[in-house]
Amino acid sequence: MINLALFGAGRIGFIHGHNAAKHANANLVALYDPFQPNAEKLAKELGCRQMTPEQIFADNSIDAVLICSATDTHADLIEQAVAAGKHVFCEKPIDLSLQRVRECMSKVSKTDSKTMVAFNRRFDPNFQSLQQQIVSGEVGNVELVNILSKDPSPPPVEYIKVSGGLFRDMTIHDFDMARFLLGEEIESVSAHASCMVDPAIGEAGDFDTAAITLTTSSGKLAQISNSRRASFGYDQRVEVHGSKGMLIAQNVNENTVVSYTESGVNSAKPLHFFLQRYDAAYRAELNSFIDYLMGEQVNIPSMHDGLQALVIAEAALKSVAEQRTVKLSEIH
Amino acid sequence: MINLALFGAGRIGFIHGHNAAKHANANLVALYDPFQPNAEKLAKELGCRQMTPEQIFADNSIDAVLICSATDTHADLIEQAVAAGKHVFCEKPIDLSLQRVRECMSKVSKTDSKTMVAFNRRFDPNFQSLQQQIVSGEVGNVELVNILSKDPSPPPVEYIKVSGGLFRDMTIHDFDMARFLLGEEIESVSAHASCMVDPAIGEAGDFDTAAITLTTSSGKLAQISNSRRASFGYDQRVEVHGSKGMLIAQNVNENTVVSYTESGVNSAKPLHFFLQRYDAAYRAELNSFIDYLMGEQVNIPSMHDGLQALVIAEAALKSVAEQRTVKLSEIH
Amino acid sequence: MINLALFGAGRIGFIHGHNAAKHANANLVALYDPFQPNAEKLAKELGCRQMTPEQIFADNSIDAVLICSATDTHADLIEQAVAAGKHVFCEKPIDLSLQRVRECMSKVSKTDSKTMVAFNRRFDPNFQSLQQQIVSGEVGNVELVNILSKDPSPPPVEYIKVSGGLFRDMTIHDFDMARFLLGEEIESVSAHASCMVDPAIGEAGDFDTAAITLTTSSGKLAQISNSRRASFGYDQRVEVHGSKGMLIAQNVNENTVVSYTESGVNSAKPLHFFLQRYDAAYRAELNSFIDYLMGEQVNIPSMHDGLQALVIAEAALKSVAEQRTVKLSEIH
Amino acid sequence: MINLALFGAGRIGFIHGHNAAKHANANLVALYDPFQPNAEKLAKELGCRQMTPEQIFADNSIDAVLICSATDTHADLIEQAVAAGKHVFCEKPIDLSLQRVRECMSKVSKTDSKTMVAFNRRFDPNFQSLQQQIVSGEVGNVELVNILSKDPSPPPVEYIKVSGGLFRDMTIHDFDMARFLLGEEIESVSAHASCMVDPAIGEAGDFDTAAITLTTSSGKLAQISNSRRASFGYDQRVEVHGSKGMLIAQNVNENTVVSYTESGVNSAKPLHFFLQRYDAAYRAELNSFIDYLMGEQVNIPSMHDGLQALVIAEAALKSVAEQRTVKLSEIH
């Protein structure tokens, strides 16, 4: 059994906490959240103790920590955790500063701790299946990838202000997905972004709509389409065009009922947002982390993957500002 | 909290046991199965005690029982449970003998126990949504219902011999679904059946392929298509044709990936069998039972529903034998 | 080049007339319709002469006739045509009386004329493809066939009164489709019918909603679902369940656009009625007739096929009346 | 009746010639092609005369010309046609040289001739329906457009060498589609292109795979995905993301049959190439031209539309070369 402690009792802490508590090979021993109402409520639900970070790091029975706290605490907690000999599961992003991420990775590398950055979409059963079909050679050499990712509605502007912006907050998942599917490192980025959804987002210095092209050194292309708004719900699709064919992962719908009436043919909408759509992905993600700790051979997104996605986000910002294609090698 | 005891640690007991153990408003206190290896294994998994039926019925802390044991024990256990003041959740069928079902219902009716017959398909999110769309009037008056139900492969002939036959074992779900969707009692049955899949099934006196028509007194029609074999997996679909439109509940597929290659366009198969397809239905079913016990207003399939489905099965058998339409009123 | 004359300038005469006029290997020489406005209009459109039946039969340059006139003229025209040495393309049904059909077939059999009964659905590209996939062995031995056939709205009651009733007028196409797909003769029929759409149809002695089961001697089953009304348009689908798999021919939609909005996911309706849905089928049907006359090896529905569909319709009527399964061998 | 003459008896001349010959309100009077075998064959099929360009332009009975000849003859023929008082339907592109196109347009503008540039995709029933749904406001303000356009296989390298390259030859359709759907002029272009399909294409100085982003002054974005190869056939799809929803025009498939077997679920491939997919579009396109000449209010793609698509192609080439976003205002 793996003993776990959870940092953060917010929305994403709630998900991983529940999955950890139900896991056959794990115990959720403790959680910490400085916001007491959340901490108390979740600890009660999960039947675990509240402990301070110091207590958690000092407790030798705890094997690993799940870091689901505010972004600006991630790097510090990772460093403290590995210093205390714990393994780490950390929500993306590691940090908004590339410099800070690199420092943190350097410290981790000097320990034996296992770490994982939680790019949940890699664990979605549909994208998993699609990626395995790529690996099996079903569509030959991958040449072009299209990633469509739209949220049902924008977060509050207060969140946007501290989020690091569209590219670091939302598109970062798509950057990782592009790397996951292309099977080759990104060489350059060309990004275009607008504020179409809410002027307040523009006033906060961010975008809400984006079209991005990534290239690899062998000439593969990836296109990302983003919007902070999709009236019909969460739009999460992927297309892969290869030398021998094409793979499309469509949205997951609420149900399979189709209604035919005089006014038309109606079917159910896509699952509304990430809690619904990625429910199975979150479970699979935690399973993989536990398997990883138990010595299984599993593919897990590493801190390097977390770093690379952030580098692409930086390049994308530079590309928008300078209206040109930016090479990743320009980003330090 | 509702305290539950489970009878039967086989395949279906496993499902309901796990759902009960995870339920926020229920405790699974104990289980019983005369086959020790199963009982031991499941009790360990679920962290509950093993108790004898006598102990279970004598234990005043136990509110309700989940009857998932062999069919020929259902009626006895129901009677003992209600005599002991327990509520009852019983797998279908109540019994293969109509006479026995009626006796059992008569005894239950003299108690205050709440009972539910577990027609799981009523709780499938797709069929639920479809039925709610009927109730909302979206397609007007229901006139014709088509139910397609095919298993991936036939059970062992040994099972078939004790199953009560295709109509009482498998089609019984479709008979209940027809009643659920038509919103009106069945008046007559016309059944046609063949042995196309395995001659051994015919030698055992049963069928493996069937086409059945049900009628109601107002002239509504329902057609059921059955096969014990579908090479591609579980085929569970429903169509409702009404005065203002049509509703179709399609199969649920393994994933949403579509592959386009020179050899054609391929998509994932339907979920393989009932464990996969009705996973959510089983959870919702137990939730409804717990809600029912806690005093919520919920629609649950009753013992009367269990009886009616069995009466239709009897009529269907008579229809095949006599090659004519049989009225339910002929069945005693 | 094949020289053709057309009987009937109504709706179906219009279709075949236009297809004949555009055919690369055929000339439409003349047409006849006793209703002058229709005859005049269509002759002008098609650039052909009007001739009387006597003139048509006497004209040695005319190779074949297309019989698209009122049902009660079909058998007479067939007999006169073959007596005059002409080949015959005749709309279904040959006649409403089985006796009359048999007489007519007997006369045809004494000539060298080629004849074809126009079961247009056999030529629909989707059903054609499905049938070829059956023949290729893709789904193994056919065991169960489901045919769904619903019109957008019922014809005028005046038409219904002279139509021969639902089974001879509308279901006849489905009876032929069942024979086409089962690849085996029908042995018995069990039919159930209601009047759900319009009481006036019932007062005229007919039904508007039906559920029919056909069986073959080897135990294959076919189920037909009929309604004279489908609020959303023409519903024309077929399912074939075989030992190795299932084939479904879905409806053809008006276009491929799908709209996702807050109120749901909308797609285009099925093509509205037979003129739209079977446009390609009518062209292919006439092509096959011309190919047949030119000596090609083609599968065309014969007068025997026309007769068999009518026998099944008779048996279905008897089955409804007597509430039992009726063997085709009972129909004389 | 409109009297037409056709220039060019190749593949596209064949299509427009046949549609013209069958048109109810048009006569195809004559055709010209310097390659005699093609000219003779098509003239015979269509039952029209062969005339020289001089004879065509001198013939006062001819109202309009259909220019389907080699690209480098388009501009000259347009100028001669309008000088002779004829209306003009011209295949895209008008010319590969922007300078030449502008000269030609200037000459046309001094006449009363009606002209149309044949962007056939605007007339595809699916894209038409999608565009009308945009205009109806169904998805609100258009914010992002995705256009996927892939050919089944690349043309011969000899063709590529004289084609003007991927952007002027193939993507030009997508540039026009973007303008058609965005309802706003393009302001800038950012293009990325690779040679993934065939090195010989790269050696000829062209690309075979491309990812392009277009922006408008109000911030709307369009993304185009191109490949010269799609193993499964012609891939022609469009997505429009608006403030109130999304519209997707899917591919058109060969038939509606779906096959379910042990090895998976198979459906028909998309229609193979433009002759199949745009068959209806070509008919609608010529219908619109004839309607236009007869004074109807119709939206037809103008020479200005032809010019704009070419300007975007030029900007795209410059963008690839300079690895930056290029404004259309930079192109002269």
Which residues in chain C belong to E strands, given as ranges?
2-7, 26-32, 49-50, 64-67, 87-91, 115-118, 142-150, 186-194, 209-216, 221-227, 235-242, 245-249, 257-261, 264-267, 326-327
Q: Which amino acid is at A190?
A: S
Model pLDDT for residues B40-75, shown as the tens digit of each residue: 999 999 999 999 999 999 999 999 999 999 999 999
Distance between CA atoms of A219 and A13, rounded to whole angstroms?
40
Show the tokens assigned to B174: 């479709």
Task: Give the predicted TM-score (pTM) of the model.
Answer: 0.96
So what's the pLDDT on residue A332? 82
- Is the pLDDT at A86 greater than 90? The verdict is yes
Crossing angle of the two packed helices D303-322 and D172-182, in degrees rounded to 10: 110
Model pLDDT for residues B166-202, shown as the tens digit of each residue: 999 999 999 999 999 999 999 999 999 999 999 999 9
3-state secondary structure at position D118: strand
Cβ contact (<8 Å) for A249 and B260? no
**Residues in chain D with pLDDT values less than 70:** none
Show the tokens assigned to A109: 């590398």
Cβ contact (<8 Å) for C264 and A260? no
Distance between CA atoms of D146 and A213, rounded to whole angstroms?
13
- Is the pLDDT at A24 greater than 90? The verdict is no
Report the Cα D34 to chain-centroid distance in Å: 24
How is A95-114 classified by DSSP, letter by letter?
-S-HHHHHHHHHHHHTS---
Strands D2-7 vs D26-32: parallel, antiparallel or unpaired: parallel
The per-residue b/e assignment along D41-76, b for 16 or more CB within 10 angstroms, e otherwise, is ebbeebebebbebeebbebeebbbbbbbbebebbbe
Contact D139, D240 (CB under 8 A): yes
Q: Residue B260: in which H helix or E strand, if any?
A: strand B257-261
Cβ contact (<8 Å) for B269 and D269? no
**Closest chain B residue by Cα to residue C147:** B146
3-state secondary structure at position D251: coil
Contact C47, C21 (CB under 8 A): yes
pLDDT digits (tens), chain B, 332 positions: 999 999 999 999 999 999 999 898 999 999 999 999 999 999 999 999 999 999 999 999 999 999 999 999 999 999 999 999 999 999 999 999 999 999 999 999 999 999 999 999 999 999 999 999 999 999 999 999 999 999 999 999 999 999 999 999 999 999 999 999 999 999 999 999 999 999 999 999 999 999 999 999 999 999 999 999 999 999 999 999 999 999 999 999 999 999 999 999 999 999 999 999 999 999 999 999 999 999 999 999 999 999 999 999 999 999 999 999 999 999 98
- Is the pLDDT at A166 greater than 90? The verdict is yes
- Give the CB-side neighbour count of residue D15, counting CA atoms within 13 A: 21
Show the tokens assigned to D230: 């799609």
- Measured between CB atoms, does A215 come within 8 Å of chain D? yes
* Distance linking the first and last C-alpha atoms of chain A: 41
Distances (CA, A) of D152 to A267, B260, B261, B270, D26: 31, 12, 11, 30, 34
Distance between CA atoms of B204 and B197, rounded to whole angstroms?
13
Residue C182: left if φ>0, alpha if ψ -120 to 50, beta else—which one?
Answer: alpha
- Partners of C283 on chain D (C-beta within 8 Å) are none
- Partners of B135 on chain A (C-beta within 8 Å) are none
CA distance B270 to chain D (A): 9
Strands A326-327 vs D257-261: parallel, antiparallel or unpaired: unpaired
CA distance C205 to chain D (A): 37
Distance between CA atoms of A194 and A86, rounded to whole angstroms?
42
So what's the pLDDT on residue D332? 82
- Measured between CB atoms, does A231 come within 8 Å of chain B? no
Distances (CA, A) of B260 to A133, A253, B70, D227, D276: 12, 21, 47, 15, 18
- Asked whether the bond before C93 is cis by omega within 30 degrees of 0, the reply is yes
CA angle D146, D150, D155 (to 5 degrees): 150
How is D119-156 classified by DSSP, letter by letter?
-GGGG-HHHHHHHHHHHTTTT-SEEEEEEEEE-SSPPP
Which residues in chain A belong to E strands, given as ranges?
2-7, 26-32, 49-50, 64-67, 87-91, 115-118, 142-150, 186-194, 209-216, 221-227, 235-242, 245-249, 257-261, 264-267, 326-327
Q: What is the mean pLDDT of chain A?
A: 97
Which chains have at least 3 CB atom pairs separated by less than 8 Å from chain C?
Answer: A, B, D
| Residues in contact with B62: Cβ distance below 8 Å, sequence separation at least 6, in sequence order | B3, B4, B5, B29, B30, B56, B86
- Measured between CB atoms, does A195 come within 8 Å of chain D? yes
Burial class from Cβ neighbours inside 10 Å (0-12, 13-18, 19+) for residue A205 reads exposed
- Measured between CB atoms, does B223 come within 8 Å of chain C? yes
Nearest to C289 by CA among C75, C92, C85, C116: C116
Contact D118, D283 (CB under 8 A): no
CA distance A140 to chain C (A): 26
CA distance D256 to chain C (A): 5
3-state secondary structure at position D41: helix
Crossing angle of the two packed helices B98-109 and B71-83, in degrees rounded to 10: 10
CA angle A178, A182, A184 (to 5 degrees): 110
pLDDT averaged over consecutive 10-residue blocks of chain C (332 residues)? Answer: 97 96 94 97 95 98 97 97 98 96 98 98 98 98 98 96 96 98 97 97 97 97 98 97 98 98 96 96 98 96 98 98 98 89
**Closest chain C residue by Cα to residue B202:** C219
Query: What are residue A133's DSSP bridge partners?
Result: none
Pick from B22, B125, B247: which is nearest to A22 by CB?
Answer: B22
- Measured between CB atoms, does B70 come within 8 Å of chain C? no
CA distance B206 to chain A (A): 33
Distances (CA, A) of C89 to A265, C121, C300, C301, C302: 38, 15, 10, 10, 10
Nearest to D145 by CA among A324, A209, A174: A209
- Could you identify the residue written with the tokens 């258009």? D142
Cβ contact (<8 Å) for A244 and D225? no
- Could you identify the residue written with the tokens 């999960």? A46
Query: What are residue D210's DSSP bridge partners?
Result: D193, D226
HEC string of D266-283 equals EECCECCCHHHHCHHHHH
So what's the pLDDT on residue C24? 87
Q: What sign does the dihedral A47-A52-A55-A60 (CA atoms) show?
A: positive
- Partners of B256 on chain D (C-beta within 8 Å) are none
- Partners of C130 on chain D (C-beta within 8 Å) are 257
Model pLDDT for residues A247-269, shown as the tens digit of each residue: 999 999 999 999 999 999 999 99
Give me the long-range contacts of C123-126 (CB less than 8 A, separation at least 24): C123/C278, C123/C280, C123/C281, C123/C282, C123/C284, C123/C285, C123/C288, C124/C236, C124/C277, C124/C278, C124/C280, C124/C281, C124/C284, C125/C280, C125/C281, C125/C284, C125/D255, C126/C249, C126/C250, C126/C252, C126/D255, C126/D256, C126/D257
Nearest to D250 by CA among A250, B52, C118, C173: A250
Contact A188, A326 (CB under 8 A): yes
So what's the pLDDT on residue B24? 87
Query: What are residue C146's DSSP bridge partners?
Result: C223, C239
